[in-house]
C-alpha cells in the first residue's frame, strides 16, 4: 500500500517527500498509524552514509509510536485503537542462541533493523518511521503505557533502551555509584534511569551550561570533565560509567574513576578509533565494554518501568517539513534533548 514518507535520495541530498510501499498486514502483523517519530543521530549517520552501506532512498526513523489501525488474524496482544511502538528492529531469525535468549539485536544471521536493512518479507529494504504508517510483526511490536505523553515516549524506543540496557546489565541500583558521560539525547535518559533505579548518579559534562539541567534531571552530582581536580576527587569510586559521547575523547580518563571490577560501558560511537592504555584495565582490574540497544523483552521492561515511574524524554516537537533544520541543529547539539516529529504534519494535519 502506498505510504507518504520523507527520504534521503543520496548522501548529500536533503530529506524530501516520497511515496513508499508498505506490505498488507500478514496474519501476525500489526499496522500502526504513526503519531510520533523521534529523531536519532543514527538517522543522520545512516542517511549520509557515514557508516557505509546505505541503500537509497533511505527513510530513517526507529523511535516510532502510534495507534493500531489493523491487526492480522493471529495477533493476540494488540487490538485496533491500542497505542503501540516499534523500535530499532522489526525482525530476526528467532532461532539462534541470541534470539532465543532475548538478545535479538545480536542475532547470528543479523537482525532486521527498522530501516536500511534487508526486508525478510518483501525482499527489498526496510523503511523507517519518517512515514505515515508502519507494518510490523507482533513479536517486534511493543506496548506503550497509556499514562505517558506519547510524543515524549517515542524516543524511549532508542535513546531509552540504549541507556537502560547497560544500566540493567551491570546492576545500577541502591548502593551503587553510577556515572553518565554526556548530557544529550542518550545521556539525559541515562541520568533519569540511574536515579530512578536508586543509584548514586553522577553526570560528567564538558559544559558548565548543563550543570543545572543535570541536577534537574536527577543527577546527585555534576562533574565538569575538563577540570582535572574535579575528576581526581572521584578516582576509583565508580561501579559503572555509561559513556554516551560520540565525539573523540579519552577513555582512560574515565577508566581511572572505576573501582576494582568496575565497568566503562560504551554506547556512543566516536568517529575515529580511540586509544586506551592497557594499564587502565590492568591496574586495578577493570572492564571496558559496549552495549547495543536491547532485546524486545528488555525494551518492554524499560517501557513498563517508565510507565510505573512516570519517566519520558525531554523533547522538542517539530513538523515533518522542519526535519532538515532539526538535523542541522542535532549536529550543533542544539536540542534539549530529543527532536520528535509530529506525523500529523505529514498527513496534512
C-alpha cell at 298: 528488555
CA–CA gap between residue 30 and residue 18 (Å, rounded): 23
Tell whether 50 and 108 lie within a shared domain: yes
Average pLDDT of the residues in 163-182: 98
Tell whether 242 and 298 lie within a shared domain: no
Tell whether 130 and 171 lie within a shared domain: no
Backbone torsion region of residue 94, taken as left when φ is above 0, otherwise alpha when ψ lies between -120 and 50, otherwise beta:
left
* Whether the bond into 57 is cis, omega within 30 of 0: yes
Tell whether 165 and 244 lie within a shared domain: yes
Q: pLDDT band for 304, please (50, 70, 90 cuts).
A: very high
Kindly report which listed range (116-120, 174-178, 216-220) carries the lowest average pLDDT score.
Answer: 116-120
Q: For 151-165, how does the pLDDT look when each residue is reduced to its tens digit (9 = 90+)?
A: 999 999 999 999 999
For residues 26 and 95, the answer to whether their CB atoms sit within 8 Å is: no
Tell whether 225 and 286 lie within a shared domain: yes
| Structural domain count of the chain | 2
- Give percent of the chain above pLDDT 90: 93
Whole-number average pLDDT of the chain = 96
pLDDT score of 349: 59
- Give percent of the chain above pLDDT 70: 100
Tell whether 169 and 279 lie within a shared domain: yes
Average pLDDT of the residues in 214-219: 97
pLDDT score of 194: 98
Average pLDDT of the residues in 241-264: 95
Q: In sequence order, which residues have a C-beta less than 8 Å from that of residue 118 and are 6 or more positions away?
A: 110, 112, 125, 126
Tell whether 228 and 319 lie within a shared domain: no
pLDDT score of 347: 84
Strand partners, 290: 266
Tell whether 220 and 280 lie within a shared domain: yes
pLDDT score of 348: 79
Strand bridging mode 29-38 / 16-21: unpaired
C-alpha cell at 89: 528492529
Residue 134 scores a pLDDT above 90: yes
Kindly report which listed range (108-112, 232-236, 345-349) carries the lowest average pLDDT score.
Answer: 345-349
Q: For 255-294, how does the pLDDT look when each residue is reduced to its tens digit (9 = 90+)?
A: 999 999 999 999 998 888 899 999 999 989 999 999 999 9
Q: Which domain covers residue 147, as residue numbers? A: 2-158+294-345
Average pLDDT of the residues in 104-115: 96
pTM here? Answer: 0.95
Q: Which domain CATH number covers 323?
A: 3.90.180.10
Neighbours of 112 (CB within 10 A): 20
Average pLDDT of the residues in 184-211: 97
Tell whether 225 and 339 lie within a shared domain: no
Q: For 39-91, how does the pLDDT look when each residue is reduced to its tens digit (9 = 90+)?
A: 999 999 999 999 999 999 999 999 999 999 999 999 999 999 999 999 999 99
Looking up cell 500500500, which residue turns up? Answer: 1
Tell whether 186 and 326 lie within a shared domain: no
Tell whether 252 and 280 lie within a shared domain: yes
Looking up cell 552514509, which residue turns up? Answer: 49
CA–CA gap between residue 57 and residue 96 (Å, rounded): 31
Amino acid at each position: 500500500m502506498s505510504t507518504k514518507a520523507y527520504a534521503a535520495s543520496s548522501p548529500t541530498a536533503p530529506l524530501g517527500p516520497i511515496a513508499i510501499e508498505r506490505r498488507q498486514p500478514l496474519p501476525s502483523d500489526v499496522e500502526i498509524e504513526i503519531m510520533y517519530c523521534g529523531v536519532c543521530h543514527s538517522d543522520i549517520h545512516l542517511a549520509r552514509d557515514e557508516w557505509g552501506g546505505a541503500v537509497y532512498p533511505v527513510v530513517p526513523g526507529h523511535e516510532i509510536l502510534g495507534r493500531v489501525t489493523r491487526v492480522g488474524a493471529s495477533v493476540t496482544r494488540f487490538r485496533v485503537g491500542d497505542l503501540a511502538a516499534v523500535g530499532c528492529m522489526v525482525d530476526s531469525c528467532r532461532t539462534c542462541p541470541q534470539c532465543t535468549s532475548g538478545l535479538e539485536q545480536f542475532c547470528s544471521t543479523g537482525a532486521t533493523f527498522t530501516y536500511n536493512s534487508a526486508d525478510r518479507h518483501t525482499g527489498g529494504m526496510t523503511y523507517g518511521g519518517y512515514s505515515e504508517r508502519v507494518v510490523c510483526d507482533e513479536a517486534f511490536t511493543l506496548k506503550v503505557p497509556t499514562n505517558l505523553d506519547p510524543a515524549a515516549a517515542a524516543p524511549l524506543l532508542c535513546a531509552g533502551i540504549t541507556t537502560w540496557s547497560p544500566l540493567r546489565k551491570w546492576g545500577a541500583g541502591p548502593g551503587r555509584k553510577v556515572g553518565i558521560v554526556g548530557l544529550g539525547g542518550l545521556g539525559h535518559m541515562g541520568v533519569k534511569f540511574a536515579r530512578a533505579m536508586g543509584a548514586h548518579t553522577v553526570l560528567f559534562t564538558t559544559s558548565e551550561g548543563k550543570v543545572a539541567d543535570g541536577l534537574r534531571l536527577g543527577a546527585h552530582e555534576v562533574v565538569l570533565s575538563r577540570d582535572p581536580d574535579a575528576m581526581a576527587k572521584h578516582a576509583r569510586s565508580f561501579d559503572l560509567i555509561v559513556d554516551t559521547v560520540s565525539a573523540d575523547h579519552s577513555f582512560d580518563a574515565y577508566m581511572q574513576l572505576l573501582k576494582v571490577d568496575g565497568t566503562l560501558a560504551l554506547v556512543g560511537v566516536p568517529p575515529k578509533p580511540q586509544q586506551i592504555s592497557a594499564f587502565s584495565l590492568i591496574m586495578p582490574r577493570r572492564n571496558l565494554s559496549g552495549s547495543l540497544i536491547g532485546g524486545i523483552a528488555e525494551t518492554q521492561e524499560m517501557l513498563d518501568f517508565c510507565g510505573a515511574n512516570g519517566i519520558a524524554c525531554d523533547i522538542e516537537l517539530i513538523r515533518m517539513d522542519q526535519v532538515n533544520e532539526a538535523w542541522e541543529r542535532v549536529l550543533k547539539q542544539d536540542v534539549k534533548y530529543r527532536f520528535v516529529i509530529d506525523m500529523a504534519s505529514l498527513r496534512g494535519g
